[in-house]
Amino acid sequence: MSWTLLRGTLHQRRWGLFWYCVGLATYGGYMAYFYPSIAKVDLDQFLKAIPSELYRFMAGSSVSFNTFGGFLATEYTGFMWVLIAGAAIIAYAARTFGGEVEAGTMELLLSMPVSRVSLAFTRIVGLVVVDAAVVASSFVPIWLVARDQRVEFTPAHLWVLGGVGFLLMLLLGAFALAVSSVTRGSGVSAGVTGGVVAAMWLMHFLRDVADWADVFEPVNIFKYWDPARLVEKGTAAPETWWVLAVSSVVLMAVSVVAFSRRDVT
């Protein structure tokens, strides 16, 4: 791994990452701050008005909008967070190989005495750092504000939500990285990854209304993302951890091998 390359990579993305993290921290803190007020309101009537499929789509397994996990999943972590954080991670990963090839800056890097494997590995470490920053700025403010508001959200809850969130984003990033390692341009990688993620999300939603959608469930990563359950129970099934982690590692390895063999034009 090249420390200079890692520092350079993060330096070039510093302001974008900084403002993204500020936005996520503000959003998460805002949610935790307003939860106590909303929890006092009886929202049963509102919940009954929402189709159960749509509610499950937004809130996962939670059946109560009035619990912190249910509220957070419905309003933020169930959908919006995946969208916002996923966009940041996919943008980083998509630019990593294909984006730099298109921009022409990969030519500069490949004329330097840095091996392709080292370059790819360094960029993966960069992805892990960006992922950690995005996830920490998303959930640590929630924990801090929740503690201030005397809402039950312990460090154990934070660890489980943050850990699974980190692995989910890592998997999205690893997929985008793998596509980026064989394509030219950020747009292709981001588009393909975004399309696959959207399709999985849609299939995950449709599984409750159409039997045929169940076919895709075994390979759908969103069955592992149930933030309401993570917050309310403070645990995640063992396969959630290892499936997300192993899938990420495999895709990262694929991207290293593919990048080390590709033509750069």
Partner 1 sequence: MKGASMDTAIDVGGLTKYYGKTRGIEDLTFSVAAGQAFGFLGPNGAGKTTTIRCLLGMLKPTAGAASLLGQTVTLDGARLRRRIGYVPGEVRLYENETGRWLLDYVSGLRGSAPSSQTELLEQLEFDPTKRVKHLSKGNKQKLALVIALMHDPELLILDEPTSGLDPLNQQTVFEILGRRRAAGATVFFSSHILPEVEKVCDRVGIVREGRLVAEEDITSLLHKRIRRLEVTFAEPVDAGFLEGLPGLSDIEAFSTHTLRAVVKGEEMDGVLRRVCERRVRDIEIMHADLEEVFLEYYRGTAPEGGEAR
Where along the sequence are the contacts to partner 1 (CB under 8 A)?
2, 4-5, 7-8, 11-12, 103-105, 107-118, 260-261, 263-265
Indicate the residue among 22 and 117 with the shorter CB distance to partner 1. 117
Tell me how far, at minimum, the Cβ of 242 lies from partner 1, in Å. 32
Indicate the residue among 14 and 233 with the shorter CB distance to partner 1. 14
Please calculate the CA angle 224-229-235 and round it to the nearest 5 degrees. Answer: 80
Q: For residue 79, which phi and psi values (nearest 5 degrees)?
A: -135, -55
Indicate the residue among 15 and 212 with the shorter CB distance to partner 1. 15
Contact 199, 219 (CB under 8 A): no
How far is residue 258 CA from its own chain's centroid?
Answer: 23
Tell me how far, at minimum, the Cβ of 235 lies from partner 1, in Å. 44
Please calculate the CA angle 150-153-155 and round it to the nearest 5 degrees. Answer: 120
Indicate the residue among 113 and 218 with the shorter CB distance to partner 1. 113
Q: For residue 135, which phi and psi values (nearest 5 degrees)?
A: -70, -45
Torsion angle of the four alpha carbons 77, 10, 98, 194, in this order, in degrees rounded to the nearest 10 = 10
Tell me how far, at minimum, the Cβ of 7 lies from partner 1, in Å. 8
Indicate the residue among 63 and 117 with the shorter CB distance to partner 1. 117
Tokens linked to 123: 């960029």
Indicate the residue among 112 and 198 with the shorter CB distance to partner 1. 112
Tell me how far, at minimum, the Cβ of 9 lies from partner 1, in Å. 10
Interatomic CA distance for residues 24 and 134, integer angstroms:
8
Report which secondary-structure segment, H or E, holds 172. helix 155-180
- Residue of 252, 2, 264 whose CA lies nearest to 118: 2
Tell me how far, at minimum, the Cβ of 205 lies from partner 1, in Å. 39
Tokens linked to 140: 């640590």
Tell me how far, at minimum, the Cβ of 176 lies from partner 1, in Å. 21
